[in-house]
Amino acid sequence: MLTGLHLAVIGGDARQLEIIRRLTELDAKLSLIGFEQLDHAFSGAVKEKIDETDFSTIDAIILPVAGTSLEGQVETIFSNEKVYLTEDILLDTPSHCTIYSGITNAYLDGVTKKADRRLVQLFQRDDVAIYNSIPTVEGTIMMAIQHTDFTIHGSNIIVLGLGRVGMTVARIFDALGAHVKVGARKTEHIARITEMSLTPFHLKNLDEHVKDVDICINTIPHLIVTASVISKMPSHTLIIDIASKPGGTDFRYAEKRGIKALLAPSLPGIVAPKTAGQILANVLSQVLNEDLQSRKG
């Protein structure tokens, strides 16, 4: 139980509703900021505006998966008001206040460091990333079907990166009957790809492997699908970039070349917000309880 904790949930999409539901069930007190257009009411949760919230009583701040923009703005699907997380707000919180976000950026890193508040990135946790890979791959399959005129079965598919998401993507597309190649840099990843009975190659040789690719799925959040790589792809190739923004594809050149390239970060929140929210809610309730017990100890 989270009895006695006062949490501020700031902004977010439908995933946050599952988090709010779980935390109120666990008896936490919630201040909901950026939710004034939400019709549903939760027992133990109060809708507030950010300038009306008493942050001196807040034990933790829960941000959306994306955290903040580089200007500090927090995305608020259920509000028309612009909400910003500032250093002054964090300085008003108790010293033990922890900020939870899916990912971070230079602004969020900077403002939490200046205020000397702990920042926890939930998507750095293996359990969250692995659970999230399930709705991510389902969304990728959906996009592949919607944007091609051929079957996945029998297609030549390249997956870039064998991280926690890339591994699930490669395995499921292989199970659907595609011919899957996986590009990686680490020798242990090359070995794992081989063990999975897929075709491995080193990313430095990507140019050589895209000449007959039907679908290229990128999971690497750095520019990897360059103009040089795209220039060697067949004109019918579909690029699905599921890395975090801005992705790892030269979208400008892809458009110029006439190749369809889709940037699709945060697929879990689009295709399965309920499941994605439950994943985050489960982990958040666990870590919040651990923090509460450690403070009591």
Q: Mark whether 137 and 254 lie in a shared domain.
A: yes
**Would residue 277 count as lying in a domain?**
yes
Six-digit token string for 259:
């190749």
Q: Tell me if residue 204 falls in helix, strand or coil.
A: helix
Q: Mark whether 279 and 198 lie in a shared domain.
A: no
Q: What is the dihedral of CA 173, 175, 180, 181, to 10 degrees?
A: 100
**Would residue 113 count as lying in a domain?**
yes
- Can you give the pLDDT at residue 265? 81
| Percentage of the chain exceeding pLDDT 90 | 84
Q: Mark whether 140 and 259 lie in a shared domain.
A: yes
Q: Please, what is the average pLDDT of the chain?
A: 94
Give mean pLDDT, residues 19-47: 91
Q: Mark whether 247 and 201 lie in a shared domain.
A: yes
What DSSP designation does 190 have? Answer: H
What is the rounded distance in angstroms from the CA atom of residue 103 to the CA atom of residue 271? Answer: 19
Q: Mark whether 15 and 105 lie in a shared domain.
A: yes
Q: Mark whether 135 and 111 lie in a shared domain.
A: no
CATH of the domain at 243: 3.40.50.720
- Can you give the pLDDT at residue 245? 82
Give mean pLDDT, residues 65-76: 93
Q: Mark whether 138 and 256 lie in a shared domain.
A: yes
Q: Mark whether 137 and 191 lie in a shared domain.
A: yes
**Would residue 88 count as lying in a domain?**
yes
Q: Tell me if residue 128 falls in helix, strand or coil.
A: helix
**Would residue 168 count as lying in a domain?**
yes
Give counts: helices (H), strands (E), the chain. Answer: 11, 14
Please state the φ and ψ torsions of residue 31, each to the nearest 5 degrees: -105, 120
Q: Tell me if residue 68 falls in helix, strand or coil.
A: coil
- Can you give the pLDDT at residue 205? 96
Q: Mark whether 139 and 118 lie in a shared domain.
A: no
- Can you give the pLDDT at residue 244? 84
- Give 297's pLDDT tier (boundaries 50, 70, 90): low
- Can you give the pLDDT at residue 225? 97
This prediction's pTM? 0.83
**Would residue 43 count as lying in a domain?**
yes
- Give 29's pLDDT tier (boundaries 50, 70, 90): very high
Q: Mark whether 132 and 261 lie in a shared domain.
A: yes
Six-digit token string for 5:
């904790």
* Number of domains observed in the structure of the chain: 2
CA neighbor of 202 nearest in space, from 213, 211, 193 = 193
Q: Mark whether 182 and 119 lie in a shared domain.
A: no
- Can you give the pLDDT at residue 241? 97
Which residue range(s) make up the domain with 252? 128-265
Q: What's at 29, amino acid-wise?
A: K
**Would residue 1 count as lying in a domain?**
no
- Can you give the pLDDT at residue 296? 64
Q: pLDDT higher for 115 or 1?
A: 115
Over residues 220-279, the pLDDT tens digits come to 999 999 999 999 999 999 999 999 888 999 999 999 999 999 999 888 888 898 999 999
- Can you give the pLDDT at residue 40? 80
Over residues 82-103, the pLDDT tens digits come to 999 999 999 999 999 999 999 9
Over residues 171-229, the pLDDT tens digits come to 999 999 999 999 999 999 999 999 999 999 999 999 999 999 999 999 999 999 999 99
- Can you give the pLDDT at residue 269? 85
Give mean pLDDT, residues 130-153: 96
What is the rounded distance in angstroms from the CA atom of residue 160 to the CA atom of residue 181? Answer: 9
Q: Mark whether 76 and 30 lie in a shared domain.
A: yes
**Would residue 90 count as lying in a domain?**
yes
**Would residue 70 count as lying in a domain?**
yes
